[in-house]
Structure 1
Amino acid sequence: MKHSADYPLASRPIMGFADEYPAGMLDPRHSHSRSQLTYCNSGVMMVSADEALFMLPPRRAIWIPAGTEHEVQCRGPVSAYTLYIDPELDPDPQTARVIEVSDLVRALVFEVGQFEPTYDMDAREGNIARLLLSEIRRMAVTPSDLPMPQDERLLRVCQALIDNPADQRDLDSWASLAAMGRRTFTRAFRRETGAGLATWRQQVRLMAAIPMLEAGKSVAVVAFEVGYESPSAFTATFHKVFGMPPSAFINQPREDEAG
């Protein structure tokens, strides 16, 4: 596993590298002086940043602005490319987010990740780096984040659902776990997460489903393991959120399969 501190990041506006992360890897909360773009080639990363929990599935990238504290976990093996970008060139310095990655952006990330630290900004490498920044601005945000509440009572509920997305307890039971009345719980949860409990739980289930699909489990098995009553209900929700069915999502080509 490589570390950004091992690289002369200030030598060029965009620097980066490819790396492999083992199952169980935890990179504790930290920040960088440069903005970070991490493209996940295979495996699934969980990134905590900006008071939210982000899932970074394969063929997506996460943008983390300079100075943003974040923590990274890999429950299984992960192959990724990480780029560090001068904040003055930020495509969008506002907030952390997971973005769609076009074939062009994927190819550009791969190229920049192979550059030597002293690459020529006035030659081919510099043109590729500038084109990558321009293309990042055009990429759509994908719904892969979970806003996390600050109230410890609500956090108990959220953590229970993250630990077991298939938990079928009803609203009254969750309110009881939070030691709140039903109405108070509902209002507080929406106020702190921006979503109702049902919507938030749906996102937890989809986030839990992706690494299972990546591991080769069938759509039917995954659907039941994350709490859906039928594979068709799971597939319909997955398609609505990600724009494609689970089978198409996991069969997208990785960089090492392209060409």
Structure 2
Amino acid sequence: MAISLIPVEKAQSSTGPLVIVSVLNSPIERTRAPHRHARGQLLGARRGLLTVEAADHHWVVPATHAVWIPPDCVHGLRSHGPFQGWSVYVSAPGCAELPGQPCIIATSGLLREAVNRAATWGEGPLDQRQERIAHLILDEVAALPAEPFGLPLPLDPRLRRIGQALADDLADNRSLAQWAQWAGLSSRTLARRFVDETGFSFSQWRQRIRLLRALELLAAEVPVTTIALELGYDNVSAFIAMFRRAFGVTPGRYFIAVS
């Protein structure tokens, strides 16, 4: 189990600085068991795919987005592979104008730069300039709309094992029948339960998690051909066609279109 990014007493205190920012570079997967703290937390990644559980929400989240977790909300996380991430811990009074439920937001350039600046601060009270940057971070979190972008994870432990295994190896092209046998249930049960618990068919869910990973890799300027191979596509044309069906543009033009 991973330790907290900041001392527990700070995470559990509603006093002190308006925001406390922590960054982490981990060469291995990071796991944090379900826990809660008095401060709200904005959790994001610079590199890596995250599985996040918060209240009744279960998501797979790419590095292009962040998760907001209100104070005293039970949450846990797991990264898939190497992880570079950041967290903004917000004092309880500072959360008054922020969402009251866990949600996912797309991280703006302004938010990322403000977080990077706040990560360089030492301990102790914030000066006036730092206070302005802290309020800017909160203003961005409040202004950015919540997005239905994360991928729901199934609740059934057998289906959850399949989802976690797929997140660990997105190039795994085993069929639904093969996954059902691996998890010890029938193909019909797997197909039905996946729709019931996630709103997606098994094939749709696998395609969506690949799309989330593709957005992260595109943001890191990884070549499209490399992305296609990492995601299990036999050729780059098949990947580009899938991406265009989902987003209306080719991978090479996605961030131009959304900027």
Query: Aligning the two structures, in what range does the TM-score lie when normalised by the shorter sequence?
Result: 0.7 to 0.9
1:232 and 2:237 correspond: yes
Alignment of 1:181-196 (within 5 A): 181-196=186-201
8 Å CA contact 2:29–2:81 kept in 1: the answer is yes
After superposition, the Cα gap between the structure-2 partners of 1:47 and 1:169, relative to the gap in structure 1 and judged at 3 Å, is closer
CA distance in 2 between partners of 1:54 and 1:38 (Å): 13
Match of 1:28 in 2: 32
CA distance in 2 between partners of 1:74 and 1:168 (Å): 18
Letter in 1 for 2:19: M
After superposition, the Cα gap between the structure-2 partners of 1:105 and 1:213, relative to the gap in structure 1 and judged at 3 Å, is closer
8 Å CA contact 1:87–1:93 kept in 2: the answer is no
Alignment of 1:70-219 (within 5 A): 70-73=76-79, 75-76=81-82, 78=84, 80-90=85-95, 91-97=98-104, 99-115=105-121, 116-120=123-127, 123-141=128-146, 145-209=150-214, 218-219=223-224
Letter in 1 for 2:203: A
- TM-score normalised over the length of structure 2: 0.74
After superposition, the Cα gap between the structure-2 partners of 1:173 and 1:87, relative to the gap in structure 1 and judged at 3 Å, is same
Query: What do residues 147-195 of structure 1 show as CA deviations (whole Å, max 9, x unaligned)?
Result: 2222233234324433433333434444444544444332211111221
CA distance in 2 between partners of 1:106 and 1:39 (Å): 9
Match of 1:220 in 2: 225
Structure 2 gap ranges (5+):
none
1:4 and 2:15 correspond: no
CA shift, 1:202, in A, is 0.8
8 Å CA contact 2:80–2:167 kept in 1: the answer is no
After superposition, the Cα gap between the structure-2 partners of 1:212 and 1:81, relative to the gap in structure 1 and judged at 3 Å, is closer
CA distance in 2 between partners of 1:176 and 1:25 (Å): 27
Which deviates further from its counterpart, 240-249 or 44-53?
240-249
CA distance in 1 between partners of 2:31 and 2:15 (Å): 24
Structure 1 gap ranges (5+):
252-259
8 Å CA contact 2:52–2:78 kept in 1: the answer is yes
CA RMSD of superposed structures (Å): 3.6
Match of 2:18 in 1: 14
Which deviates further from its counterpart, 99-108 or 163-172?
163-172
8 Å CA contact 2:22–2:119 kept in 1: the answer is yes
CA distance in 2 between partners of 1:160 and 1:74 (Å): 10
After superposition, the Cα gap between the structure-2 partners of 1:129 and 1:190, relative to the gap in structure 1 and judged at 3 Å, is same
8 Å CA contact 2:17–2:125 kept in 1: the answer is no
CA distance in 2 between partners of 1:132 and 1:242 (Å): 29
8 Å CA contact 2:62–2:213 kept in 1: the answer is no
After superposition, the Cα gap between the structure-2 partners of 1:231 and 1:77, relative to the gap in structure 1 and judged at 3 Å, is same
Letter in 2 for 1:94: Q
8 Å CA contact 1:23–1:74 kept in 2: the answer is no
Letter in 2 for 1:75: G
8 Å CA contact 2:5–2:23 kept in 1: the answer is no
